[in-house]
Chains A and B, each alone.
Chain A
Amino acid sequence: MIRVENLMHAFGSREISYPDFEVSASQHFWIIGNSGCGKTTLLHLLAGLRKIQQGSVTVGDQRIQNMKGVDLDKFRGQNIGLIFQKPHLLTSLSVRDNLSTAQFLASKKRDVGRVNSVLHELNLSALISSKPNQLSQGEAQRVAIARAVINKPKVILADEPTSSLDDENCSKVLDLMIKEANIYGATLIVVTHDQRVKDQIANGIKLEAL
């Protein structure tokens, strides 16, 4: 579950006020808005990547603004899976090691079985030893999704995951994210300006441009 209340963020003299909303556990949700309306900032506030200046964000039973430092990092690693527009895999590591690194950085025990099982779910088993530069764009995006769900997060946050994809691939990526979120009972929030997302995810809010 994610709840946003009275959230406001200022960049110098420019202030963004976000509407209150709540997304229940296992629900899929879109946040749509045009460029500059503060979508990515909102996603970073939800993930605790940016300090909350005013208002409140609750993930599960934890208030993000009440956590800081190592505790917040650990909470994020273990409870929030992030997916970006570009896969941004760690290029020096193999597919397997990218996933193992996600376990390690979230202070989770190394679980090879879990890595294999997630790769199997996403039809990536054959690429386990490949380096990111040996993957197609679609394969790399699937590995990025695998990395986001490796720690069985309570929340999956996706930032413009479909913006650079054609209709077919857009649909596939959304299907995968929804499927993975369903497997782990995770809340899925997709932040995007891509209206096609609405075709596969029923609920959401629209952010108004400033």
Chain B
Amino acid sequence: MSLFAISWSYIKEKPLNTFLNTLLLSLGIGIIVVLLLMSHQVQSNLEKNAKGIDLVVGAKGSPLQLILSSIYHIDFPTGNIPLIEAQKIAANRRMVEKAIPLALGDSYREFRIVGTNQLYRDVYSAEIESGAFWQDDLEVTIGANVAKTLGFEIGDEFQGEHGLTSNGHSHDEHNYKIVGILKQSNSVLDNLILTNVESVWVMHEKEGSEDHHGSDKLEPDIFGIKIGDQGEDKELTSLLIKYRSPRAAMQFPRMVNNNSSLQAASPPFETARLFNLIGAGVEIIRGFAYLIIVIAGLSVFIALYNSLKDRKYDLAIMRSMGASRTRIMSLILIEGMIITAIGGIMGFVLGHGVVELLGQLMATANQNIVTGQLFLSNEWLVALMSLVLGIFVSIIPAVEAYKTDISEVLANG
């Protein structure tokens, strides 16, 4: 026998009461765990995918939309930019170390086709699982999730679909051929179909146009793109820029925004702005979760306090059997802590379970990957909070039990 066993026997005696109290607490803790895991993983995913990209240059519009579409591939592009303007930007060797062109607009079964050059793979340190990186027009290298979800293998062919959603018409004049599959990187690359910019242009050439055919005879431009006679009409979606020096961060965005028809958007600034926007909602949900925890704590307190009346004689009998006041006090404290510990454990299981489920649902929808199989150091604070709550809600009933006048209780029994 132990104090724990005695406390546990009292808890078991009222299963419904215990279940409701622990359920309420687990909901509050669960919501906080979900918020912690989600915000941490979403933020680190955003940072990971934007690593190595200092600036995005694209068509004027929402800078956040530009970032979301060009880096995270989760929104529609703001429009197209003339290739000539993009070349001018990239030619600024004093400030630009790397300028990676992106040509978006097509997809296959909701997986986006990205026309770019070989520098793009270096940003994410992409590695080949099988096959090779694309070289010629209409060759593609696909992300690990694309291969897994669509069951593609090297040598398979498919027709790109116009637009970034699943209801676009097929570009049935040309087939893409898969020449490589990337290793899983847990970055946006996993969900992308990579090819050269020329392939995207080929797909969108008007019927009868011969502009890009036989491109192997053409000289590559600053991006390594082979452009025909109608080069001045060509367009890109955006440019991913890496600065040559920290000074460029101060001057280059202003220069682009003031001296061209393009807009420059900084990924860290826009993601911080995004988190500020989301943050208000997150704070409301967090506040709601804390409210649930307080209500749960109050409920456990009321249950313990009320049970003292029923148990007054039991406690007096225990004192008559030799239990000290401290032991009786500990008995009630342990009972409160067991209830809150169960609620806390249920909350952690619930929170991690929900995040794991969300992660699996989101992975199928090509979104950022989150997992419930991760334990953050912040979660120890939540566990500690649950423990402190247990002590806090049981301290008053425990002190009441401590103060019980056994002689009076036994005399009235």
How many Å lie between the Cα of A110 and that of B323 in the bound state? 15
The answer to whether A107 and B322 have CB atoms under 8 Å apart is yes
Say how far B267's CB is from chain A's closest CB, in angstroms.
60
Question: A77 interface residue, CB < 8 Å from B?
Answer: yes
Question: A90 interface residue, CB < 8 Å from B?
Answer: yes
The answer to whether B411 and A44 have CB atoms under 8 Å apart is yes
Question: B12 interface residue, CB < 8 Å from A?
Answer: yes
Among B5, B326, B327, B410, contact of A44 (Cβ-Cβ < 8 Å): B410
The answer to whether B323 and A93 have CB atoms under 8 Å apart is no
A86-B314 contact given A50-B407, A107-B322, CB 8 Å threshold: no
* Main SS class of interface, B: helix
Cβ contacts under 8 Å, B322 to chain A: 73-74, 76-78, 102, 105-107
Question: A137 interface residue, CB < 8 Å from B?
Answer: no
The answer to whether A147 and B321 have CB atoms under 8 Å apart is yes
The answer to whether B411 and A92 have CB atoms under 8 Å apart is no
Question: A196 interface residue, CB < 8 Å from B?
Answer: no
Residues of A131-167 whose CB lies within 8 A of B: 147, 159
The answer to whether A100 and B1 have CB atoms under 8 Å apart is yes
Q: Chain A 94-130 against B: per-residue CB contact (8 Å), 1 yes, 0 no?
A: 0001001111111100100000000000000000000
Q: Chain B 323-357 against A: per-residue CB contact (8 Å), 1 yes, 0 no?
A: 11111000000000000000000000000000000
Among A84, A91, A101, contact of B318 (Cβ-Cβ < 8 Å): A101
Say how far A103's CB is from chain B's closest CB, in angstroms.
7
The answer to whether A93 and B6 have CB atoms under 8 Å apart is yes
How many Å lie between the Cα of A88 and that of B12 in the bound state? 19
How many Å lie between the Cα of A100 and that of B13 in the bound state? 19
Question: A47 interface residue, CB < 8 Å from B?
Answer: yes
The answer to whether B410 and A49 have CB atoms under 8 Å apart is yes
Cβ contacts under 8 Å, B406 to chain A: 49
Residue pairs across A and B with Cβ atoms less than 8 A apart, 13 shown, are A41-B411, A49-B320, A49-B406, A73-B319, A76-B320, A90-B314, A91-B314, A97-B1, A101-B318, A105-B318, A106-B321, A110-B1, A159-B410
**Given contacts A44-B410, A90-B318, A97-B5, could you give 8 more A-B pairs where the C-beta distance is less than 8 Å?**
A41-B407, A49-B406, A70-B324, A82-B320, A84-B317, A86-B413, A88-B313, A101-B318
Cβ contacts under 8 Å, A147 to chain B: 321
5 smallest A-B Cβ distances: which pairs? A77-B322, A92-B9, A106-B322, A104-B1, A50-B407
Say how far A62's CB is from chain B's closest CB, in angstroms.
14
Question: B10 interface residue, CB < 8 Å from A?
Answer: yes
Cβ contacts under 8 Å, B9 to chain A: 90, 92-93, 97
The answer to whether B324 and A92 have CB atoms under 8 Å apart is no
The answer to whether A84 and B314 have CB atoms under 8 Å apart is no
The answer to whether A91 and B321 have CB atoms under 8 Å apart is no
Cβ contacts under 8 Å, A107 to chain B: 322
Question: B2 interface residue, CB < 8 Å from A?
Answer: yes
Cβ contacts under 8 Å, B321 to chain A: 76-77, 82, 101-102, 105-106, 147
Cβ contacts under 8 Å, A78 to chain B: 322
Residues of A51-70 whose CB lies within 8 A of B: 69-70
How many Å lie between the Cα of A104 and that of B4 in the bound state? 12
The answer to whether B317 and A88 have CB atoms under 8 Å apart is yes
Cβ contacts under 8 Å, A105 to chain B: 318, 321-323, 327
Q: Which residue of A lies closest to B313 (CB)?
A: A88
- Contacts from A to B (Cβ < 8 Å): 40-41, 44, 47, 49-50, 69-70, 73-74, 76-78, 82, 84-86, 88, 90-93, 97, 100-107, 110, 147, 159
A92-B12 contact given A44-B411, A73-B319, CB 8 Å threshold: yes
Name the residue in B10, B12, B324 with the highest tally of chain A Cβ atoms < 10 Å from its Cβ. Answer: B324
Cβ contacts under 8 Å, B410 to chain A: 40, 44, 49, 84, 159
Q: Which residue of A lies closest to B317 (CB)?
A: A88
How many Å lie between the Cα of A159 and that of B411 in the bound state? 10
How many Å lie between the Cα of A44 and that of B411 in the bound state? 9
Cβ contacts under 8 Å, A74 to chain B: 322, 324
Say how far B406's CB is from chain A's closest CB, in angstroms.
5
How many Å lie between the Cα of A110 and that of B2 in the bound state? 10
Cβ contacts under 8 Å, A77 to chain B: 321-323
How many Å lie between the Cα of A3 and that of B232 in the bound state? 117
Among A44, A73, A82, contact of B323 (Cβ-Cβ < 8 Å): A73
How many Å lie between the Cα of A105 and that of B321 in the bound state? 6
Name the residue in A73, A85, A106 with the highest tally of chain B Cβ atoms < 10 Å from its Cβ. Answer: A73
A91-B320 contact given A44-B410, A103-B1, A105-B327, CB 8 Å threshold: no
Q: Which residue of A lies closest to B5 (CB)?
A: A97
Q: Which residue of A lies closest to B8 (CB)?
A: A92
Cβ contacts under 8 Å, A97 to chain B: 1, 5, 9
Q: Which residue of A lies closest to B310 (CB)?
A: A91
Q: Chain B 375-413 against A: per-residue CB contact (8 Å), 1 yes, 0 no?
A: 000000000000000000000000000000011001101
Q: Chain B 277-321 against A: per-residue CB contact (8 Å), 1 yes, 0 no?
A: 000000000000000000000000000000000000110011111
Say how far A151's CB is from chain B's closest CB, in angstroms.
8
How many Å lie between the Cα of A30 and that of B406 in the bound state? 23
Cβ contacts under 8 Å, A159 to chain B: 410
Say how far A184's CB is from chain B's closest CB, in angstroms.
16
Say how far B119's CB is from chain A's closest CB, in angstroms.
71
How many Å lie between the Cα of A110 and that of B5 in the bound state? 13
Say how far B41's CB is from chain A's closest CB, in angstroms.
44
Q: Which residue of B lies closest to A93 (CB)?
A: B9
Among A49, A69, A84, contact of B407 (Cβ-Cβ < 8 Å): A49
Cβ contacts under 8 Å, A76 to chain B: 320-322
The answer to whether B320 and A69 have CB atoms under 8 Å apart is no
